[in-house]
């Protein structure tokens, strides 16, 4: 397998690096999202219940101890809950955006990997074709068909590798983006529950 890949030329190495990087990012995000799944579940409703009973301190401690995006957003919201509506909404929006940025970490890198992998493959193919035509020129046009065919398939190998890396990477990126969007929607729903609980209008 190593000998086969080596025939693809020097650009096989960066393409393989892209595949390792993309896989590492995908697994890291999956592990983080899996850990978050159990954290913050039903937190907004619990805090809303405490606030309605006037137990602000208990609500603040519960939010702070949850170690979840929802908990961090609600912690900041509780700190300014007695301020005017505009200030409260500004704090909630800022806190939510900050959490979404954290959830989206490395996703831009993943998208970049998906974009450059096929380009690296195409570049490898172009370089390989240039070498093949240089051989034709050196041989004065008297080229053995098997020699030319071998040079061409070696050149096309990098394009195949680039596409093989790019396709699953882009699918992984789309999947992770959808997960981030779901978490953002949950944070927004939690903020609405919180605002209703404190009776801000």
pLDDT at 8: 62
Indicate left, alpha or beta for 176 from its phi (over 0: left) and psi (-120 to 50: alpha).
Answer: alpha
pLDDT of residue 201: 47
The two structure tokens encoding residue 95? 């806190």
pLDDT at 4: 58
pLDDT computed for residue 17 by the predictor: 94
Burial profile 72-106: b = 16 or more Cβ within 10 angstroms, e = fewer = bbbbbbbeebeeeeeebbebbeebbeebeeebbeb
pLDDT of the residue at 5:
61
pLDDT of 153 reads 73
Q: Which residues of the chain have pLDDT under 70?
A: 1-9, 38, 140-151, 200-201
Cα–Cα nearest to 157, from 132, 128, 133, 130: 128
Q: Which two tokens stand for residue 177?
A: 């983006």
- pLDDT value for 189: 92
In terms of Cα–Cα distance, which of 73, 82, 87, 102 is closest to 191? 73
Closest CA to 94 of 194, 187, 198, 195: 187
- Nearest residue to 6 (alpha-carbon basis) of 160, 166, 158, 147: 158
């Amino acid at each position: 397998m190593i000998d086969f890949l080596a025939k693809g030329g020097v650009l096989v190495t960066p393409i393989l690096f892209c595949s390792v990087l993309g896989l590492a990012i995908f697994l890291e995000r999956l592990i983080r999202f899996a850990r978050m799944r159990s954290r913050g579940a039903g937190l907004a409703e619990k805090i809303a219940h405490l606030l309605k009973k006037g137990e602000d301190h208990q609500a603040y401690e519960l939010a702070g101890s949850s170690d979840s995006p929802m908990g961090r957003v609600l912690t900041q919201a509780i700190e300014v809950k007695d301020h005017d509506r505009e200030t409260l909404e500004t704090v909630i929006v800022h806190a939510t955006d900050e959490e979404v940025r954290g959830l989206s970490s490395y996703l831009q890198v993943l998208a970049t990997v998906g974009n450059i992998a096929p380009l690296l493959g195409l570049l490898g193919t172009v370089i390989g074709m240039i070498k093949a035509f240089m051989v034709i020129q050196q041989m004065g046009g008297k080229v053995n068909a098997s020699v030319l065919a071998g040079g061409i398939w070696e050149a096309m190998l990098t394009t195949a590798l680039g596409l093989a890396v790019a396709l699953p990477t882009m699918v992984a990126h789309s999947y992770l983006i959808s997960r981030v969007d779901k978490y953002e929607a949950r944070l927004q729903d939690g903020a609405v529950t919180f605002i209703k609980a404190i009776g801000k209008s």
